[in-house]
Amino acid sequence: MKASELLTFIPNIETYKRFGKVNRVVGLMIESIGPESSIGEVCFIHVGGKKKGRKIMAEVVGFKEENVILMPYTEIQDISPGSLVEATGRSLEVKVGNSLIGKIIDSLGNPLDDSPLPKGLMAIQTEQAPPNPLTRPPISEEMELGVRAIDSLLTVGKGQRVGIFAGSGVGKSTLLGMIARNTNADLNVIALIGERGREVREFIERDLGPEGLARSIVVCATSDQPALMRIKGAFTATAIAEYFRDKGLNVMFMMDSVTRVAMAQREVGLAVGEPPATKGYTPSVFAILPKLLERTGTNQNGTITGIYTVLVDGDDMNEPIADTVRGILDGHFVLDRALANKGQYPAINILKSVSRLMNHLVSDMHKQAAEKIRDLLSTYLNAEDLINIGAYKRGSSKEIDLAIQMYPKIISFLKQRTDEKITMNESIASIINLAENGE
């Protein structure tokens, strides 16, 4: 280190450490007398017992009178009354760099396969402010996702944020894997939050595959981990995507799922003493969602295209988290269980889905073709009951006759095998041909 660097480094060195001691533990909450600290600061709790010398990472999440309330990043075994709590004076940081690509890490940035972190990484803070609205360039360029139904009828732009809304088992993870493999983005950053432990490896090996993993960074926080780890997994993944955006890359960011981040924040809020508000969700849940979702998008250097999955309870699209997220994002794709039961994959309900930026991104010919296909699909579905019971007589309506003729071709167009890669140009050419020539 050079002398000039030392002169700027020395004044920032802490010459003393601040300690407190554990007073009590209630559920997820650790209450300590001291140390002097602030919200979001990382502390170490020194535990004794058989694992003497071990430190448990925790974060300051609130205060109660003169006491500090902490939440652990890991399990809290071996904490006892009087355990020392050491303040670090820093918020959570993770290390990131090009050599992290292809790795699977936890919420703290540690590789899940226990291998050492690559060298040459840079430490960044996980919690950062969203870009200034006036510094965000408008979204003007299409992003190829490699899924025909999306690229043709729900076109997404570079820097757009969309939600995939679905109940359990309708194909969210499979669709994310298709996008990760087929997109023309420079890099994928994938956050698996609150997933079952079994699903993580299945997603990486089956849905993502070696081809997808080679250009991805996966951040994983499974459902068995403490609530704070699940929340930090979302913030860590977002911070990694921001790092590469600032390097000038077009990043594809995927989070599965926002709902489980909200559930984890509810656990923290209730433990701290927040009142349960809408359907048991605490006010902090609705404060954290825009802070998290607004961080993606465009800035002066690059873009982050965000794909967020939302797990809707009982396929209720109007439950509080789904409604809040839909209001923040720039579009939503609804996966329909009825379509999945018919064997239509991906099971995207085109008529219930929307990309708010599509009309600003595509050519007039593409827009007219997409509108015609939507109109034909809507016409058929409105008359479907009459058609199925034989109450509709052919020739009564030209529109319905055309819709009946085109419906099988439209459904065939919307279907796509998981291993089938289709470029955006092919998708656009196909939908224009379908709309104009019925082929």
Task: Give the mean model confidence (pLDDT) for residues 157-184.
Answer: 90
| Fold annotation for 94-359 | Rossmann fold (3.40.50)
Single-letter code of the amino acid located at 334 = V
209-218 pLDDT tens trace:
888 888 999 9
List of residues 6+ apart from 40 with CB closer than 8 A: 59, 60, 91, 92, 127
Task: Give the mean model confidence (pLDDT) for residues 278-303.
Answer: 91
Residues of the chain with CATH 3.40.50.12240: 94-359
389: three-class secondary structure by DSSP:
coil
86: three-class secondary structure by DSSP:
strand
306-364 pLDDT tens trace:
999 998 876 667 788 999 999 999 999 999 988 988 889 999 999 999 999 999 999 99
CATH number of the structural domain 17-91: 2.40.10.170
Structure confidence at residue 12 as a pLDDT band (50, 70, 90): low
Q: What is the pLDDT of residue 52?
A: 62
Residues of the chain with CATH 2.40.10.170: 17-91
11: three-class secondary structure by DSSP:
helix
CATH architecture of residue range(s) 365-437:
Up-down Bundle (1.20)
Query: Is 150 a residue whose pLDDT tops 90?
Result: yes
Beta strands 19-26; 216-222: pairing state = unpaired
Report the mean per-residue pLDDT for the chain.
88
55-67 pLDDT tens trace:
888 999 888 888 8
Q: What is the pLDDT of residue 389?
A: 81
In terms of Cα–Cα distance, which of 308, 156, 303 is closest to 241? 303
Integer Cα distance of 172 and 335 in angstroms: 8
Three-state SS string over 271-290 comes to HHCCCCCECCECHHHHHHHH
Q: What is the pLDDT of residue 361?
A: 92
Residue-wise over 171-204: b if at least 16 C-beta within 10 A, else e? bbbbbbbbbbbbbebbbbbbbbbbbeeebbeebb
Single-letter code of the amino acid located at 173 = S
Query: Is 78 a residue whose pLDDT tops 80?
Result: no
Give the Å distances, CA to CA, from 13 to 16, 19, 42, 212. 9, 17, 17, 42
Alpha-carbon torsion 36, 41, 45, 46, what sign?
A: negative
Least confident of 4-8, 19-23, 139-143, 429-433: 4-8
